[in-house]
Amino acid sequence: MPQGNDAIKLNAKRSYTPEGYLVAPAIIARSGILPYYARELDLKDRAPNSIVQVYRSPNELAKAAPTFEHKPITMDHPPEGVDASTWRELAVGDVHDVLANSDKMLATVIVRDKAAIEEINKGRRQLSNGYTFELHPAAAGTQGYEFEQVDIQGNHIAIVDRARCGPSCVVGDRDPITSREEHKPMIKVAMDGYPGEVDEVTAGIIIQKLQHEKAATEERAAHPKFRIGDKLCDEAEANAIVNQLNVELARAKENTPEKFKQQYAAEQKVYACVKDMCPGIEIPENPDVNAVCTTALHQLEANAATKSQIAAILDGVAIDKASTLDLQRAVRTIHAATASDRDTSNQHRRNVQLGRTILATDSTTRDARTLDGRDAWVHRITHIMDEKTDDRSLEQL
């Protein structure tokens, strides 16, 4: 299990007990992205001194807070941590009232050793947590860090000289291998947000961070991202989504209640035509007008003349590939033609029957067959009126 050490500047607001113990509130940890050496994480796939970015979430920070309660304070980090067998030798104080507040872990630090208090008063004021944790790979596509830190277990809090990531870092990691007596060369930097001088490791982290920010800026410029709802997409995806929304909006504007009523009435007329021409077709409770029209037209194709009419109406397009509107138009047109033929046939039969009736009808004085032309005409008109034949029959006399 990897071991880590977070360094935090000791709060300047301090007090002393009657016994001379130093008491101070402190921020002993924070969430966020933290830099580690590859050797600290026991990573064998890269150089031991390469920097690896590890993310600690606020949730994991809150879960870790109780594990730091009453943990000992040491001068620097002991190589193997602290336990009951080494506490008397290593501990110079302890921490209390540990709690997580948003992205920070707060505590009250009590330093009881006189020599340690003197070191703090001379300027050695940074605290570095010692802890173990599980290292999990970051989710695919994650940017800014490679691993996540989970299941953090506090062991001790050490008083150290300098945070690994420099005074500008609220929380950093101290190199556990570097001794207190070792003095690292300092590098001057002139940038807003950074101190005037930083050590070599901090300078490397700053350069790596700036390179990452530059690459991210160039990537955003080359491939701008757009957030639509919960989805982050590129320009082409965003345009496709917007176009689809515009189509749906236009469709919604067209589908007004009045248009829906008109569509419903038109479909009911089509179903009535199908029932009249093809009584064997069952219309379900929630019919699919496309399927009903297709079935009816396939049945009507059995008649060669009707098949020719269907082909002409659909302009040669196969029934199964025709649009819904064209199918409905074909059904209504074929039905209208069939009804017209049926009316003509019925009218002819009525006229034939009427003629036969006239020829067989007796006049008050003589047989109808002996009537002259004018009387026969008047007699026929009289019979037509009696039969209440429509005006078309009169026009065809």
Spatial separation of the C-alpha atoms in residues 62 and 68, rounded to whole Å: 11
Q: What are phi and psi of 237, to 5 degrees?
A: -65, -40
Spatial separation of the C-alpha atoms in residues 149 and 58, rounded to whole Å: 11
Q: Which residue has the higher pLDDT, 366 or 293?
A: 293
Strand 186-188 and strand 197-199: pairing? antiparallel
Strand 15-16 and strand 3-9: pairing? unpaired
**Residue 94: pLDDT above 90?**
yes
Per residue in 253-283, pLDDT (tens digit) is 766 777 778 888 888 999 999 998 898 898 8
Determine contact, residues 96/107, Cβ cutoff 8 Å: yes
Determine contact, residues 119/156, Cβ cutoff 8 Å: no
Determine contact, residues 184/166, Cβ cutoff 8 Å: no
Determine contact, residues 10/50, Cβ cutoff 8 Å: no
Per residue in 107-119, pLDDT (tens digit) is 888 999 999 999 8
Q: Which residues make Cβ contacts (< 8 Å) with residue 253, sequence separation at least 6?
A: none
Determine contact, residues 234/223, Cβ cutoff 8 Å: yes
Q: Residue 3 — pLDDT band, cuts 50, 70, 90?
A: low
Which structure tokens are listed for 34?
């933290």
**Residue 237: pLDDT above 70?**
yes
Helix (H, G, I), strand (E, B) or coil at 197: strand
Which structure tokens are listed for 328?
């409905």
**Residue 90: pLDDT above 60?**
yes
Q: Which residue has the higher pLDDT, 135 or 218?
A: 135
Q: What is the pLDDT of residue 67?
A: 94
Spatial separation of the C-alpha atoms in residues 11 and 9, rounded to whole Å: 6
Q: What is the pLDDT of residue 69?
A: 95
Q: Which residues make Cβ contacts (< 8 Å) with residue 16, sequence separation at least 6?
A: 22, 23
Q: Residue 102 — pLDDT band, cuts 50, 70, 90?
A: confident
**Residue 193: pLDDT above 90?**
no
**Residue 395: pLDDT above 50?**
no
Residue identified by tokens 């179903």 is 271
Beta partners for residue 77, in sequence order: none
Q: What is the pLDDT of residue 293?
A: 92
**Residue 18: pLDDT above 90?**
yes
What residue ranges do the domains of the chain occupy?
3-183, 269-395
**Residue 345: pLDDT above 80?**
no
Spatial separation of the C-alpha atoms in residues 28 and 159, rounded to whole Å: 11
**Residue 196: pLDDT above 60?**
no
Mean pLDDT of 364-383: 57
Per residue in 32-73, pLDDT (tens digit) is 888 888 888 888 888 888 889 999 999 999 999 999 999 999
Q: What is the pLDDT of residue 178?
A: 37
Q: Of 147-156, 203-212, 372-381, which one has max mean pLDDT? A: 147-156
